[in-house]
């Protein structure tokens, strides 16, 4: 396979084209919203995923509009599959759903057919997640807090702002949060940030420094210290050990791509 000549220059040129076309990639938290909603079995995930898919169609991963849409579909279903597994769906079932929909890409003859298939795929995953036994059902104020935390992991979080969000006193919410989740608020937030960082190490090309910044850690050294304490290894060691598992879907994507050629 012919290598890309001067990739830094190519990246700079793409950035120039995007500015000229007034296009900007969406942020990480915006991208993750559709998958978080799907994982929770929320029907709003379907329209959110369609909105994001249409937003990404102009990116131009291929000069062929159909293939471009297919590439985006495979990227989306790969992430959706991982979120479904983490949400409690049996891994084999999730992978089989992914394989089924990737195979259904072949008969698509235009981008709109891919969009229809994308809607069907996200609807099915969302419905399956709604049926999946949840690991924990919280009382309403704590459920709202958990949802708020998931949507704001990229920002500093204080229990005072959540107390205001759910209209409870800080002291009462602190007691309630520990009783429901089994963890102090700060410990819960840190655990979710590290779990999200683990996913990003597996399924993205973000550097350790970028991940620590995206997830609002106060410093790179603090992020590494917290990561090592929870996983037993540094972010670099974790990626080296587990990254192959995170990109395993590339094989399925490659097989699907071979069918498009």
Does residue 84 contact residue 34 with C-beta atoms inside 8 Å?
Answer: no
For residue 221, what are the domain limits?
140-246
* Domain end among 134, 162, 179: 134
Return d(Cα 144, Cα 51) in angstroms, integer: 24
The answer to which of 4-18, 33-47, 103-117, 129-143 has the lowest mean pLDDT is 4-18
Residue 2 is assigned to a structural domain of this protein: no
The answer to whether position 7 is within a domain reads no
Identify whether residues 121 and 153 lie together within a single domain: no
Question: Is 136 in a helix, a strand, or coil?
Answer: coil
- Based on the domain organization, do 147 and 97 belong to the same domain? no
pLDDT in tens, 137-157: 688 899 889 889 988 889 999
145 and 114 assigned to the same domain: no
Average pLDDT, whole number, for the chain?
A: 82
Alpha-carbon distance of 215 to 135, in angstroms, equals 24
28 and 109 in a single domain? The answer is yes
Answer yes or no: is 238 within a domain: yes
Q: Which is nearest to 128 in space by CA: 54, 42, 52, 63?
A: 42
- Helices marked H in the chain: 7-20, 28-39, 44-56, 65-86, 91-103, 111-131, 140-151, 159-166, 170-181, 185-203, 208-214, 220-231, 235-246, 249-260
Please determine, for residue 61, whether its predicted confidence score (pLDDT) is greater than 60.
Answer: yes
**pLDDT, tens digit (0-9, with 9 covering 90-100), for 99-148:** 999 999 989 999 999 999 999 999 999 999 988 755 566 888 998 898 89
The verdict on residue 255 lying in a domain is no
Six token digits for residue 185: 């608020």
For residue 1, is it within any domain?
Answer: no
Task: Tell me how many domains the chain contains.
Answer: 2
């Amino acid at each position: 396979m012919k290598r890309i000549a001067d990739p830094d220059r190519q990246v700079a040129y793409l950035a120039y084209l995007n500015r000229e076309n007034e296009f900007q990639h969406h942020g990480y938290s915006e991208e993750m919203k559709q998958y978080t909603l799907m994982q929770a079995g929320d029907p709003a995930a379907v329209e959110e995923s369609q909105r994001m898919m249409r937003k990404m169609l102009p990116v131009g991963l291929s000069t062929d509009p159909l293939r471009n849409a297919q590439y985006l579909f495979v990227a989306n279903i790969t992430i959706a599959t991982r979120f479904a597994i983490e949400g409690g769906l049996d891994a084999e079932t999730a992978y089989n759903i992914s394989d089924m929909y990737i195979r259904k890409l072949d008969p698509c003859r235009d981008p709109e057919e891919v969009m229809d298939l994308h809607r069907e795929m996200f609807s099915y995953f969302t419905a399956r997640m709604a049926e999946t036994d949840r690991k924990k059902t919280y009382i309403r104020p704590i459920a709202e807090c958990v949802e708020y935390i998931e949507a704001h992991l990229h920002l500093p979080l204080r229990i005072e702002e959540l107390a205001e969000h759910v209209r409870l006193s800080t002291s009462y919410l602190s007691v309630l949060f520990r009783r429901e989740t089994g963890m102090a608020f700060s410990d819960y937030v840190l655990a979710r940030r590290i779990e999200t960082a683990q996913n990003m190490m597996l399924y993205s090309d973000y550097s350790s420094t970028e991940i620590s910044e995206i997830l609002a850690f106060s410093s790179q050294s603090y992020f590494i210290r917290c990561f090592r304490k929870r996983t037993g290894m540094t972010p670099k060691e974790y990626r080296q050990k587990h990254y192959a598992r995170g990109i395993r879907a590339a094989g399925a994507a490659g097989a699907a791509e071979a069918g498009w050629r």
